Structure 1
Amino acid sequence: MKILIADDDPQLVRALRITLTAHGYDVVTAGDGAAAVVLAAQTHPDVVLLDLGMPNLGGVEVIAALRGWTQAPIMVVSGRTGSADKVEALDAGADDYVTKPFQIDELLARLRALARRSASVPGDARVAFANVEVDLAARSVRRAGERVHLTPTEWRILEFLARHPGALVTRQTLLKEIWGTDQVADTGYLRLYLSQLRKKLEVDPSHPVHLLTESGMGYRLVLDADQREG
């Protein structure tokens, strides 16, 4: 798996290159935003590790440039800890956000999660329920033919549920798949994201028939409302 590291801190880049190479990754590096965009186009990395505060082109601008042609997962690795910076990066198209300093074990776990989520799917991989169609290959959602905008985290949750239709997906599984580790405390985030998905996709969000909560266990995507369990 090829990883592009874009960061203007040469010591961090060197440390990450050594560590990731030792774990079997193919690593290419860029020291500024403009170089990152060019190198990404030349090498087509499987994952991009990206700092926000780079010269020549800022991290958010790099994300926007990459999202114009690639769906490769982008993990922001930044010293900026403010929620506004995280929201801006995620809304621009980043898939994950890690703050510096970080534990290398957590970074590796998040990389593995990104790799699992970006595994190729058949071109006709679609899941439909009610008037909603989820296109897993195109990473798009339509309701009654109209495109539905989802945040990156909303998409990842829906995508995982859509890959396991009808199955109970535990909270721990979703935490591990979305945030890279099952040690993350679920302080209501999943309930919040499921509530937002219901508002966008259910006919009656207060009485969902497709995006269901299994009390005390997790969540389930039911394609046929007549076949609900529990």
Structure 2
Amino acid sequence: MTHVLVIEDDPSIRASLVRSLTDRGHAVASAPTGLVGLQEALDTRPDLVLLDLGLPDLDGQSLLSMLRAVRQTPVIVVTARDDDTTVVKALDTGADDYVVKPFTMDQLEARMRAVLRRSDGAAPDDAVAVGDLVAEPAARRASLRGTELDLTRREFDLLVHLMRRPGEVVRKRDLLTEVWNLPYGGSERTVDVHLSWLRRKLGESAAHPVYLHSVRGVGVRLTAPEDGSRAAAGAGGAPTPA
């Protein structure tokens, strides 16, 4: 049985979600505000949180940041906001998936299963290295030539996913599925934006790649740089704009 916490201010939507999820065999708790939801998440440690962004006491994005500061509980944002900026911000803040209202319960439960599968089947904690780039999943730390990189949660997950497939061209659609848990949709622009941020932190750009190489119309490939490229990337120290 999955313990689900629903944080939703609209009483009719909240009651409908609680009833439908309960009928489907889940144990469900709910909260009408962000602060009550945060306390519930801390006290009961749910398996999954369904989070509305339009809360009366604080913005759902802020609540998501608070949750991520203390828990790695999977979070699915469930909201009427569907603009690309909001979606990207929520995913970058730490949401595991994003569902736009209105939706069917079959769709929502499929998303829940996908997120929980990823959570239950977490990647191995073994460190991985490609060239001078090293990632330690257990510590959630990555470094380049011995200098630790300041990566967001999503940037780190994206980097590790690519590092575990060195030399392989990974499609953006597969990245949306495996890193963002968006098997039923999602904008590839989300991947482009995070790759751009990641390139900056690696000191390279799309025009002058060192580790991250775009394959037009297909996806992206992470490879160890040639000695000359590695030396060039190490010179100067400042990141190159993407």
**TM-score normalised to the size of structure 2?**
0.72
Residue 38 of structure 1 deviates from its aligned partner by: 1.3
Q: C-alpha separation between the residues in 1 aligned to 2:208 and 2:86? A: 34
Residue 163 of structure 1 deviates from its aligned partner by: 4.2
Residue 200 of structure 1 deviates from its aligned partner by: 1.9
Q: Is the CA contact (8 Å cut-off) linking 1:121 and 1:137 kept in structure 2?
A: no
* Greater Cα radius of gyration, structure 1 or 2: 2
Residue 134 of structure 1 deviates from its aligned partner by: 2.2
| Cα distance per residue 1:1-26 (max 9 Å; x no partner) | 33211112232223323443455544
Q: C-alpha separation between the residues in 2 aligned to 1:162 and 1:16? A: 39
Residue 78 of structure 1 pairs with residue 105 of structure 2: no
Residue pairs, 1:142-161, within 5 angstroms: 142-143=143-144, 144-150=146-152, 152=154, 154-161=155-162
Aligned to 1:50: 51
Residue 110 of structure 1 deviates from its aligned partner by: 3.1
Query: Residues 66 and 162 (structure 1 numbering): CA distance in 2 closer, same or farther, change over 3 Å?
Result: same
Residue pairs, 1:74-223, within 5 angstroms: 74-83=75-84, 85-86=86-87, 88-118=89-119, 119-122=121-124, 124-143=125-144, 144-150=146-152, 152=154, 154-177=155-178, 178-184=180-186, 186=188, 188-201=189-202, 203=204, 205-222=206-223
Q: Is the CA contact (8 Å cut-off) linking 2:206 and 2:214 kept in structure 1?
A: no
Query: Residues 120 and 2 (structure 1 numbering): CA distance in 2 closer, same or farther, change over 3 Å?
Result: farther
Give SS of 2:70's match: coil
Residue 183 of structure 1 deviates from its aligned partner by: 4.5
Residue 50 of structure 1 deviates from its aligned partner by: 0.9
Q: Which runs of 5+ in 2 are unaligned?
A: 227-242
Q: Is the CA contact (8 Å cut-off) linking 1:175 and 1:182 kept in structure 2?
A: no
Q: Is the CA contact (8 Å cut-off) linking 1:90 and 1:151 kept in structure 2?
A: no
Q: Which residue identity does 1:66 align to in structure 2?
A: L
* Structure 1 range deviating more: 132-141 or 7-16: 132-141
Query: Residues 34 and 156 (structure 1 numbering): CA distance in 2 closer, same or farther, change over 3 Å?
Result: same
The percentage of counterpart residues that share the same residue type is 38
| Cα distance per residue 1:22-52 (max 9 Å; x no partner) | 5554432222212211111122123211112
Q: Which runs of 5+ in 1 are unaligned?
A: none
Residue 87 of structure 1 deviates from its aligned partner by: 5.1
Q: Which residue identity does 2:96 align to in structure 1?
A: D
Residue 85 of structure 1 deviates from its aligned partner by: 4.3
Q: C-alpha separation between the residues in 1 aligned to 2:149 and 2:47? A: 26
Residue 101 of structure 1 deviates from its aligned partner by: 1.9
Residue 59 of structure 1 pairs with residue 38 of structure 2: no
Residue pairs, 1:9-28, within 5 angstroms: 9-28=10-29
Q: C-alpha separation between the residues in 2 aligned to 1:22 and 1:166? A: 47
| Cα distance per residue 1:89-126 (max 9 Å; x no partner) | 4454333333322343443343333224333344x432
Q: Which residue identity does 1:93 align to in structure 2?
A: G
Q: Which residue identity does 1:221 align to in structure 2?
A: L
Give SS of 1:68's match: helix
